Structure 1
Amino acid sequence: MVQDESYRNVVINGFFIIVILMQTFFSSFLGVIFGSLFGCLLRLLPPLDGNILILISFPGDILMRMLKMLILPLIISSLISGLAGLDAKSSGRMGTRAMVYYMSTTVLAALLGVILVLSIHPGNPKLKKQVSVSIKNEEVSSIDAFLDLIRNLFPENLVQACFQQIQTVSKKVPAPPSPLDLIRPLNVTGLSINGSQSNSSSETSVPTMVTQKKLEFKGGMNVLGLIGFFIAFGISMGKMGEQAKLMADFFNILNEIIMRLVSMIMWYSPFGIASLICGKIAAIKDLETVARQLGMYMVTVIVGLVIHGGMILPLIFFSITRKNPYKFYGGIFQAWITALGTASSAGTLPVTFRCLEENLKIDKRVTRFVLPIGATINMDGTALYEAVAAIFIAQMNDVSLDAGQIATVSLTATLASVGAASIPSAGLVTMLLILTAVGLPTQDISLLIAVDWLLDRMRTSINVVGDSFGAGIIYHLSKGELAAIDAKHDAKDGTDMVKLHMMNHDSIKKPTREGVNTPQFSGYASLPTDEYEVQVEPSLHL
């Protein structure tokens, strides 16, 4: 009877998953079609285009708000509940495997982008005049960005980290007057030195400007700092054992509640995704011109993302797990489509959890530990995109990069992608670091804005795919450790049950043959005396 009910639940859940997948796929397809139609219509009705675009994108805006609403409680509950179920050694090994995988795939993505952009050579100096847009960008220091990354890892206020993060800001201010400047006005006008007459009063002094750096808080959740704190919190709670059981139960229940909310949102997601895609396509004023000017750049990025997501990541997955990677792709299809629609790794995180745990049956201790970290620091698509974009800008400026500069682009793209926020268009911000590192004009980033909306969605989907494959690989490598932890817990639970029965035993009924009193359990009164003594002997030390 129980088996029939469990089988029925599996069938029902599978049916719901297939229905939602089909809805998501068709909604994305319809979003592209209606977005193109609305785009043509809006070009005929310019006075109404703003209001209509807002109405078209409104359901998608609601979806993004609901997904972002769940990010903070999901990261907190998943990290703590996942790490509390692991011992320190297992979590350390799992974290090491995750970091090795993240850095390896990110470096491979950046190298692939460099190879493709040098081979295809999409940049042309004539393009800069055709699509020139004047946007002022601040110079960014690589050292400041790296130090900000470390600062954000250790937030001074957890509540503030939920909506702000620290950033080094450079501003040009007038230099303070030197002692010579203070003395100079005291000189008498008209005195001749070596036969020349001074006329300092008629000279206009221009104040010297210097760059001053200071720390400021900017809007946006400090996900890295929250992850760092709650990883330490979860590991510490796991070491406390039974003392922290009540707290562990609380976060486990919180995580289950959040996942139930995610399941409810999934029924609405097809409408939201269609709205997001439709609104973005309809907002393009001249798609044909943009495609003609930046078509080869888009082709280079898209080819790189397809190769990395469709060949390199599946090959790594197959070589380690010996399982079909494209069957794995089928399990994360909904997360991939959601990433295409939302362009946010963090916003897709609730869907990724659901796909891996329910569709692919990956252990929750792995997903809860690996996915929040991966959504923050594992940015394969962003690394590839930034490497291509930096060399593309160099080609448009007719600048030849030597081997050292190309290596700098690859390394900086890898590190910058780690620091990129898991929000839409974060890659454009971190692109400043790469251009500054190799001495390219940062204002040329504005040339890429016209097509960034599309490439941002595609690279985000590859980021999510990389996180998912990483969770599958780490689960495969950690199966033995997880089984050992489960066996240890099962043995401990069995011992606790025996002790619980011993504490609740009835009063002593009769002596044994040796004269030693034997406790009689109300539930085991019919057991033979000799057999019963053998069962309880290890606990009573009789």
Structure 2
Amino acid sequence: MARGGDACTGQWWMGVLRNNLLVILTVLGAIVGFALGVGLRETELSQDAIIWLGIPGEMYMRSLKMMILPLIICSVIAGTASLDPKSNGKISVVALVYIIITNCLPCLVGMGMALIIRPGEGVSASRNQREIKAPVMETADIFADLLRNVFPDNIVAACFQQAQTKYEILEKQVLEMNATSDLVNSTVITKLKKIGIAYSTNVLGIVVCCLFFGIATTAVGELGKPFFLFFHSASEIILKILRTMVWSTPIGVASLIAVALVESSGLEDTFKSMGMFTLTIFCGIATYQLLIVPLYYFAIMRANPYKFLASMSRPWMVAVATASSAVAIPETLNRLETTNKVDKRISRFVVPLASTINRDGSSLYITAACIFIAQLANYDLDAAKIMLIWILTTVISLAVPSVPSAGVMAVLINLTALGIPADNIGLLFAMEWLLDRLRTGSNMLSHACCTMVTYQLCKSSLPPLSDKGDNIEIIVENSIKRRLSSMHSAEHAPLNEKNEHTVL
């Protein structure tokens, strides 16, 4: 009896090890990366040595990013084509309402943590400054760009660029009469706006365009079945490739972390001056993800929220290591569909949509950073200003352009709108390499929660699985069999009958 129990225990441990092997290896990769980064900081590596140290991480990121866009296109088309228009509409509304609400709640947590911890007190603002040369975008232009990008005029161009308002400053000398009736030269500054481009994938526009294709595929009935079969098969092939490529994550993580630590300048001074702000963001994200999210998850799902969060540990580590929730999409889909049994028709539409506009961690960071900068400038924030920060961050988080350090740019937009001095905003870049990863991990978990909640609220409205559901493998297999059968019949048919069959 004891021997059977020992065998069962040993088998159980082997199962746990096998199921979590990638997570364990990724943690080991992170430890190795930290050790390499800290150890090599004192050796003053050459630029070439740093480049080669980062080559494994760069290859890892490039290989994953190469497959993300095809996966989004195929998944969204196949997912929406499996549903009727009524179900698509309900899923979209539920997902959007969830995204707006969960972009709003973290703002309160971030402001609360910043007002309690007060990270801006006693910080030396003369270190780690970086000048921001880009002009501050106006809030109205951000939303105009959002609408432009929702409906791209060129679907091919949307794969590598998106619309973004550009500003041109013109200075003109004019003659004016002063108070003493003398003519003097004065400079008139005019800011012109024009529609430009930013070299970043317009994921939101691609998702909307693919949504239209999926709905139209369903609308045309049998004629759309070959189109649907192609994109469903393509999405499964891409996921198979990505599931194989994800095993290189430990090496990529070690390389990315090591290079980030080696290239960061004045790490010790940075932690001393920005330690309290980093602690504020860390406490805010931990409070939101470990207390608030589990509360509303349990209220809606009536299930153990911590078991769900634990099941998403692998995609969370991918998101944190790469500082990109888009790169974690394949693993997020895998965990949602296999471990949490989410219907593919929902997960493959909601996850790409949420990854473009659902930014829980970023919303928390933006509000906390605004209050941090105001504290550095000894700027008194009354209740009206705090409320305005909350509202602005909630709406801007939906429309902030996808550019490097977009969170810092959103902070600058808020500060300008509120009239808060932004002289010390360069400090935020000091810990950007770490805080960007923390908020990206929070964003990724929110994408997964959005999918689970949407599935819970919409699964009763899903049409029963037909030829376009989980039975797709059977459909493809039967199609192949019919094709082979017809080819076999054609080979043994009389010549005229064979030719007629071929034409048909």
TM-score (ref. length: structure 2): 0.85
**1:251 to partner: Cα distance:** 0.5
- Map residues 367-386 of structure 1 onto 2, 5 A cutoff: 367-386=347-366
Alignment correspondent of 2:21: 19
The residue that corresponds to 1:106 in the other structure is 103
Give identity over the alignment, percent. 36
Give the 5 Å matches for 1:45-444.
45=44, 48-124=45-121, 127-175=124-172, 205-421=185-401, 425-444=405-424
In 2 relative to 1, CA 245–164 (structure 1 residues): closer, same or farther, beyond 3 Å? same
CA contact (8 A) 1:137 1:443 kept: no
Instruction: Determine whether 1:38 maps to 2:40.
Output: yes
CA contact (8 A) 1:125 1:398 kept: no
How many pairs were matched up? 458
Contact 2:285 2:439 in 1 (8 A): yes
How far has the Cα of 1:443 moved from its partner? 4.5
Q: CA deviation at 1:323?
A: 1.2
Distance 1:218 1:210, change over 3 A: same
3-state DSSP class of the match of 1:347?
A: coil
Q: Alpha-carbon deviation of 1:206?
A: 4.3
Q: State the alpha-carbon separation in 1 of the partners of residues 468 and 194 from structure 2.
A: 51
* Rounded Cα–Cα distance in structure 2 between residues aligned with 1:478 and 1:161: 30
Q: Please report the RMSD computed on the Cα atoms of aligned residues, expressed in angstroms.
A: 2.7
User: Gaps spanning 5+ residues in structure 1: where?
Assistant: 1-10, 185-195, 497-542
Tell me if the contact between 2:173 and 2:187 (Cα under 8 Å) persists in the aligned partners: no
Give unmatched runs, 5+ long, in structure 2.
1-12, 476-504
Once the two structures are superposed, residues 382-439 of structure 1 have per-residue CA deviations (whole angstroms, 9 ceiling, x without a partner) of: 0000000011101101111222211111111122222245675321222222112211
- For the residue of structure 2 that corresponds to 1:212, the secondary structure is strand
Letter in 1 for 2:145: D
1:351, CA displacement in angstroms?
Answer: 2.0
Most deviating of 149-158 and 76-85? 149-158
Q: Equivalent residue for 2:30?
A: 28
**TM-score, L = length of structure 1:** 0.79
What's the offset of the Cα at 1:14?
8.3
Deviation at 1:126, TM superposition (A): 5.1
Distance 1:281 1:167 in 2: 33
Aligned residue identity for 1:486: L
- Where does residue 188 of structure 1 map in the other structure? none
Residue correspondence of structure 1 range 2-17 to structure 2 within 5 A: 17=19
Paired AA for residue 444 in structure 1: N
What pairs up with 1:474-513 in 2 under 5 angstroms?
Answer: 474-482=454-462, 484-486=463-465
Aligned mates of 2:59, 2:267 — CA distance in 1: 27
Q: Is the 8 A contact 2:128 2:429 kept in 1?
A: no
Q: Deviations over 1:153-208 (max 9, x none)?
A: 1111111111111111222113486xx89xx9xxxxxxxxxxx9x997xx6x3442
Amino acid at match of 1:449: F
Counterparts of 1:129 and 1:260, CA distance in 2: 50
Amino acid at match of 2:229: D
AA aligned opposite 2:377: N
CA contact (8 A) 2:173 2:186 kept: no
Determine the C-alpha separation between the residues in 2 that align with 1:137 and 1:161: 23
Cα distance in 2 for partners of 1:489, 1:261 equals: 23
1:469 corresponding residue in structure 2:
449
Distance change in 2, residues 1:74/1:206 (3 Å)? same
What CA deviation, in whole Å up to 9, does each residue of 1:249-277 have, x standing for no partner?
A: 01100100110111111111111011111
**Match among 412, 434, 459 for residue 454 of structure 1:** 434
Any conservation in 2 of the 1:356–1:367 contact (CA below 8 Å)?
yes
For 1:191, the equivalent position in structure 2 comes to none
* C-alpha distance in 1 between matches for 2:356 and 2:14: 34
Which amino acid in 2 is paired with 1:115?
Answer: G
- Report Cα offsets for 1:129-173 as digits up to 9, x if no partner: 344444434222111111111111111111111111111122211
Partner SS state of residue 128, structure 1:
coil
Q: Indicate the SS of the match to 2:137.
A: coil
Return closer, same or farther for 1:466/1:424 CA change in 2, 3 Å cut-off. farther
1:345-366 CA distances to partner (integer Å, 9 max, x unpaired)? 1122122122222332321111
Question: Distance between the aligned counterparts of 2:445 and 2:156, measured in 1?
Answer: 31
1:167·1:218 contact (CA, 8 Å) conserved in 2? yes
